[in-house]
Amino acid sequence: MRERPLMPVAQYLRMSTDQQQYSLLNQAAAIAKYAELKNFTVVKTYDDAGRSGLVLRERPGLRALLRDVVSPEVPYKAILVYDVSRWGRFQDNDESAAYEFICRSAGVPVHYCAEQFANDLSIPSSVMKALKRAMAAEFSRELGIKSYEGQKRLAQLGYKMGGRAGYGLQRLMLSPSGERIGVLQKGEYKAVSTNRIVLVPGPRSEVAIVRRIYSMAVKGMRASEIVRELNRSGIRYTGDRPWEHWMVSKILKHDKYAGCNVWGQTSRKMHGPIVRIPRKEWTTVPGAFQAIIDKKTFDCVQRIRANRTENKSDAALLAALRRLLKDKGYLSEALIDKSRRVPTVNTYCRRFGSLRRVYQLVRYRQWNEYFQRRRRAEQTEQLHIKLVHDIADCFPDSISLLRNPPKRRQLLLVDKHIRVSVYLCRAIKWPNGKPCWKHDPVKGEKHNITLLCTLSKSNDSIKAYYLFRSLGRTGNYKFGPGSKWLAAARKLESLSELHDAVIAATT
C-alpha cells in the first residue's frame, strides 16, 4: 500500500521572556509530534524569540509570515502554532482573529497543536478559541500589574530600576545580599536578575563639574548662562559634546543628585503612549544613594528655579516679552535667551507650543518675515548639502567630504590634500530692480580654491558654476551677471569638469 504524501506546512514559534516552559525548543518538539500524527512535514519556520505578544510591530516573524501567506505562491498548506497564546496576547481579541482570518482566506489554515479543540470553525471551537484569546490578553494585563508593583517595591527599597545613571553618576551592581560586585560601564547590564543596581558618584572630574553647576545656580545664574560659562571655560559634556540647555537643566532639577531615588515619573501600559505622572504620585526614597549635592543646596536651587517661571501665569510671561519688544523694537531667539528680563526660548516654546505662536500672541508683526528667512536659509542649506554629496558621488576616487570641517560647513577634499570651499549665492535684486546675487564668505576660507554657485531666480536650483583660484575677499557683498570679479573665474559647463579645473588652479 502506497504511503500518503506528506503535506508541507510552516510552523510559527514565539517566546517572550516571562515563561521558559514556552521555549522555542519545547514548542518545536510539540509541533513536530503533532505534524507526525497528521502526516505533515515542516518546510519553513517563523519565530519571534524574546518578543512580546502585545503588538504586531515588534514581531518580525509574524509580519514575515503574513507577507508570505498573501503572496501568489505559498510553499506550504497550513501553519502550526503551539497554542492560542503563542499566536498572540493581543489586547483586542479581534486583532488576533483578523490575522488568523488572513491566513485562512488565503487557503492556509492555522492549527493549534497543544489545544484540546480542533480549529475547525465549529461553534465549540470558536467559543473556546475566543475564550483562550481573552485569557491570553488578561494574562498580559495581570502580568503588567504584577511587574509594576514588583518594580515599585524594589524602588521603595532604594534600588535603581533601569535607565542611565546620568552625568556625574555611575551604576553600582550589588549581589542579593548587598555585596558590591562592580560598576557597570555604559552599555553594560546586569546578567543575573536577582542582582540590584544603586547609584554612586562617578568620575571625580564630573562630580566637580556638577557641584560647580549647583554653585553657579545658587548665585542666581540661569541654565542658559551656566551653559555659556561651561562652554567658554572649555568644559565638555560626555563624548566631547558642548553643553546644551537641557543637560544643565536636567542636572539642576533631578533629585538623584541629592541622594534621592526617584521612580515612576512616566508610565506606559500595554505598549500604549507614554504618560507623564504627577510629581505627587512618584516613588521617592530620600537618602537612597550617596549624595553629590547636600540637601540644603539642592532645595535652595529648586526654590530659585521655581520662582522664575513655574509660578508665573501665561499672561505674565507674555507681558514680559511685550515689554522687551517695546524696548528693543524687535525679537529674536538670541535676544530672548540673552535677556535676564524674560525666560528662555525653550520655556516659551514649552508653555505655548512654538516660537511662531509666541510671536503671534505678542503681536510681533515681523514674525512672518522672520520665519520666511529661516525657511529660505534651510532651503539653501539643503541645496548645499545635496551639491557636495553629488560631487563626491561623481568623483568617488578623487573627491571626498572633509571630515570635521570648521563651523559645520561642508568642504571638499580633492586628491586627499586640496581643500575646496563651496558657496551657494542666493538671487536677489539691486535697489533699481535688476537681478544680482548675494555672497557671504567665511573669513578663514578666503585663500581656498572656491566653487561659487549662483542660484536661479526662484533660488530652488543651481544656475551656473564658477571656480576661483581664491576669493581673496571677505564680508558680505553683491554682484551682478556682468561683474568683472566674476569674469575672472573659470565658468564650468558641468560638474564633470570640476576635478581637472581644481588641479589646473593649483598649478
Residues 246-262 pLDDT 10s: 899 999 989 999 999 98
Specify the fold of 7-141. Rossmann fold (3.40.50)
Residue 131: band (very low, low, confident or very high) from pLDDT cuts 50, 70, 90: confident
Q: Do 493 and 473 contact (CB within 8 A), yes or no?
A: no
Question: Residue 117, exposed/middle/buried by CB under 10 A (0-12, 13-18, 19+)?
Answer: middle
pLDDT score, position 243: 93
Q: 169-306 domain in CATH 2.60.120.330?
A: no
What is the mean predicted confidence (pLDDT) over 475-500? 89
Q: Which of 115-129, 163-177, 224-238 has the lowest mean pLDDT?
A: 115-129
Residues 34-63 pLDDT 10s: 999 999 999 999 998 877 767 788 888 999
Q: How far is CA 386 from CA 260, 379, 404, in A?
A: 49, 11, 18
Residues 268-322 pLDDT 10s: 776 667 788 888 888 888 988 889 999 999 999 988 887 776 667 889 899 999 9
pLDDT score, position 405: 62
Note the CATH architecture for domain 374-506: 3-Layer(aba) Sandwich (3.40)
Provide the mean pLDDT of the chain.
Answer: 86
What is the mean predicted confidence (pLDDT) over 202-213? 93
Asked whether residue 476 carries a pLDDT value surpassing 80, the answer given is: yes
pLDDT score, position 1: 44
DSSP 432: T
In the chain, domain spans: 7-141, 169-306, 312-365, 374-506
Pull the grid cell for residue 243: 553643553
pLDDT score, position 208: 94
pLDDT score, position 20: 56
pLDDT score, position 218: 92
Question: Residue 397, exposed/middle/buried by CB under 10 A (0-12, 13-18, 19+)?
Answer: exposed
pLDDT score, position 134: 84
Tell how strand 79-81 and strand 196-201 pair up: unpaired
| Integer Cα distance of 422 and 401 in angstroms | 11
pLDDT score, position 124: 82
| Integer Cα distance of 112 and 84 in angstroms | 7
| Integer Cα distance of 386 and 392 in angstroms | 10
**Would you say the CATH fold of 169-306 matches that of 7-141?**
no
Residues 98-119 pLDDT 10s: 999 999 999 999 999 988 888 8
Q: How far is CA 10 from CA 69, 119, 427, in A?
A: 10, 16, 63
Rg, Å, the chain Cα set: 33
Residues 132-144 pLDDT 10s: 888 877 877 877 7
Pull the grid cell for residue 349: 516654546
Tell how strand 261-263 and strand 196-201 pair up: unpaired
pLDDT score, position 497: 92
Q: How far is CA 168 from CA 196, 211, 245, 248, in A?
A: 20, 10, 17, 12
- Regarding pTM above 0.85, the answer is no
- Where helices occur in 329-473 by DSSP H, the ranges are 333-338, 345-352, 355-361, 367-394
Higher-confidence residue: 2 or 213? 213
Q: Which of 84-98, 203-217, 318-332 has the lowest mean pLDDT?
A: 84-98
Residue 231: band (very low, low, confident or very high) from pLDDT cuts 50, 70, 90: very high
